[in-house]
Amino acid sequence: MQNSFTEENYLKIIHALSGREGLEVSTNALAESTSTRAASVTDMLRKLAEKGLIHYKKYQGVRLTEAGEKVAINVIRKHRLWEVFLVEKLGFGWDEVHDIAEELEHIPSDHLVERLDAFLGHPRFDPHGDPIPDAKGNLTEPDYLVLTDVQIGEKVRMMGVLDHAPSFLQHLDRAGITLGSVIEIREINEYDKSASVQINENHTLFISLEVSKNLLVQRR
Amino acid sequence: MQNSFTEENYLKIIHALSGREGLEVSTNALAESTSTRAASVTDMLRKLAEKGLIHYKKYQGVRLTEAGEKVAINVIRKHRLWEVFLVEKLGFGWDEVHDIAEELEHIPSDHLVERLDAFLGHPRFDPHGDPIPDAKGNLTEPDYLVLTDVQIGEKVRMMGVLDHAPSFLQHLDRAGITLGSVIEIREINEYDKSASVQINENHTLFISLEVSKNLLVQRR
DNA sequence: AATAATTTTTAGATTAATCTAAATTTTTTT
DNA sequence: AAAAAAATTTAGATTAATCTAAAAATTATT
C-alpha cells in the first residue's frame, strides 16, 4: 500500500536526524522536528514499524529499514529536483523554494520524477548544494568541509550550506556569497572569532563565526 | 483559514456539474463524482456552507457562492496550467496528464502559479483545448460546436474534447486527430450514423457517432 | 390525493493523525 | 543503589473525512 504525506515526512526526518551513520533517533527529537508531541510520535512509530519501514523497539529509538530508507531517499530526490526546477526554470530565489518543495515532494508518480529529472538535465546538486540522489537511490554526500576548518591564507570554493533558513540565505545574498564563490580567509579576529574573507578575488568583508559554521566549502 | 485538498475537490466538482448556468447540483450527483456516498456528501456540504463557500438548503441542492466560485476557478486554473507544463515541457501525452494534474492542482502558493504561468508563456488553453482562467479568475468558455452539429461538406477546425478519458484521447491519436486538425465532413452513414471525414485535407476515415459527440470544433 | 419510489439527511461508527494527562521506563545525579 | 529527572509510552479524547443503516423529505406514479 501507499505511504501518506505524513508518513513520508516522518521517514524523511528520521533519515535527516540519523545522519550518515544511521544512528538511532529519539522520540523527542522527532516530536521537535515534526512540531508534534512525543505521544503522537510514538503512535506513528508503531505504525511505521508495522509497515516495515523502521526498526523500532520501545524506549530504544528508531532507525530506518532498507525499505524505509528507499522511501526517504525518494522523497529527498523529489524535493531537490523540484527545488532545481523552481530556481532554474521559474526564477525563484534559493531562499524561497523550501516550503513549496515540501509540498511538491509528496506528489506521487515515478514517471513524473524521471521526466522532470531529464527536463532539468539530470542535475547532481540542488540550489543549496545538496546532492540529488539518482533514480536508483544512490546518494553520495560529497565530503565538503565547514569554513571554520579552513586555515588562514587558504582559498576555497563555496559548495553548500548547512542552514537552509531563508534569513541565512538572504544574508549570503547580501554578502555576495553564492554557490561557486571563491572564498579566501584573510584573518580571524580574536575578539569575536569573525573572519575577514575575500570573495571572488574581489571584495572583502567580515563574516561571523555563526555564518562560517554554516558554509560548506571545498579545497581547490 | 485554508481549504483542504478534499474541500477544493468538492468545489471543483460542484463547479463542473453546475455548468455555465450555475444550476443546482444534487447530493447524489456529487456522491457519484466524488466516489463517495450521499451521506458523506451531506456532511461535507454542511461544512462548505458553514465556510460560506456554497449556498445550501437541505434537500435543495447546492450552488457555489462568489467565494466558492473563486476557489473552484483557481483550482481549475492550476490544473490546466500544470497540464500545459506536463505536455509542453515534460513531454507527456495529452492522455497521460490528468491524474498528475489532479495532485498538482492542490499545491498552494499564488506565487508559484503566477511564475508557472509566466514560464509557460501565459497559455490560453490547456492540452485538451480547455480555456485557462486568468489570474483574476476570468474564465471565458469559447463557444465551440460539437462535431455532430456540423453539416456535410463543411470544413471545421478541431479545438477541444468533451471526454477526457485516456482511451478516447488515444483513439484520436490513432486517428491522427489533434488540436488544430482540419476536419471536413464528407458524409454521414445512414446505418450507424458514423461520419466519413477527411483530416487535414489528407487522409479520410470513419468516425463513430460516439466520437463525433465528443469533438469540439470551430467554423473557419 | 394516496402510495410508492427515490433522494437526502441523521445517527452512530471507523480510520488517520493528532492532543493532554497519567503511568512507565530509562538515565542521571546524588 | 536510591532518588530525582528526563524521556517515552499508554489511556482516553478530538477532528476530518468517510462509512452503513435507518429515518425523513421530496418526487413520481398510480
Judged by C1' against the alpha carbon of B3, the nearest nucleotide is D16
What band does B67 get if pLDDT is binned at 50, 70 and 90?
A: very high
Nearest to A100 among B89, B91, B109 (CB): B109
pLDDT at B200 over 80: yes
Q: Which chain A residues contact residue B120 at CB under 8 A?
A: none
pLDDT at site B220: 80
A111: closest chain B residue by CA? B92
Q: Give SS3 for A64.
A: strand
Those residues of chain A whose CB sits closer than 8 Å to some CB in chain B are 86, 89-92, 96, 99-100, 103-104, 107-109, 111-112, 115-116, 119
The verdict on a CB contact (< 8 Å) between A86 and B116 is no
- Extract the residue ranges of chain A whose pLDDT is less than 50: none
pLDDT at position A21: 87
Nucleotide nearest to A1 (CA to C1'): C16
DSSP, residue by residue, chain B: -PPPHHHHHHHHHHHHHHTTTT--B-HHHHHHHHTS-HHHHHHHHHHHHHTTSEEE-TTS-EEE-HHHHHHHHHHHHHHHHHHHIIIIIT---TTTSHHHHHHHTT---HHHHHHHHHHTT--SB-TTSPBPP-TT--------EEGGGSPTT-EEEEEEES---HHHHHHHHHHT--TT-EEEEEEE-TTT--EEEEETTTEEEEE-HHHHTTEEEEE-
Q: What is the pLDDT of residues B144-182, one digit of tens each?
A: 999 999 999 999 999 999 999 999 999 999 999 999 999
Altogether, the residues listed in chain A come to a count of 220
Summary mean pLDDT of chain B = 96
Chain C positions with an atom below 7 A of a protein C-beta are: 7-12, 16-22, 25-26
- Give pLDDT, residue A75: 98
Q: What is the pLDDT of residue B1?
A: 67
- Taking an 8 Å cut-off on Cβ atoms, the answer to whether A119 and B92 are in contact is no
pLDDT tens for each residue of B88-123:
999 999 999 999 999 999 999 999 999 999 999 999
pLDDT at A87: 98
Residue of B nearest to A102 (CA): B107
Q: How far apart are CA A114 and CA A131, in angstroms?
A: 16
* Residue contact A91–B116, C-beta within 8 A: no
All structural domains of chain B: 5-64 (1.10.10.10), 74-141 (1.10.10.10), 145-219 (2.30.30.90)
What pLDDT is recorded for position B157?
Answer: 97
- Near-strand D residues (CB closer than 7 A): A 26-29, 38-39, 41-43, 45-46, 56, 58-61; B 4-7, 34-37, 39-40, 43-44, 47, 59
Residue A81: predicted pLDDT: 98
Q: Which of A90, A99, A112 sits opposite B100 (nearest CB)?
A: A112
The C1' atom of D8 and the CA atom of A43 lie apart, in whole Å, by 11
Which chain A residues are within 8 Å of B115, Cβ to Cβ?
Answer: 90-92
| pLDDT score, position A141 | 87
Contacts of B181 (CB under 8 A, 6+ apart): B157, B158, B199, B200
Q: Give the pLDDT score at B20.
A: 87
Question: Which nucleotide is closest, CA of B36 to its C1'?
Answer: D18
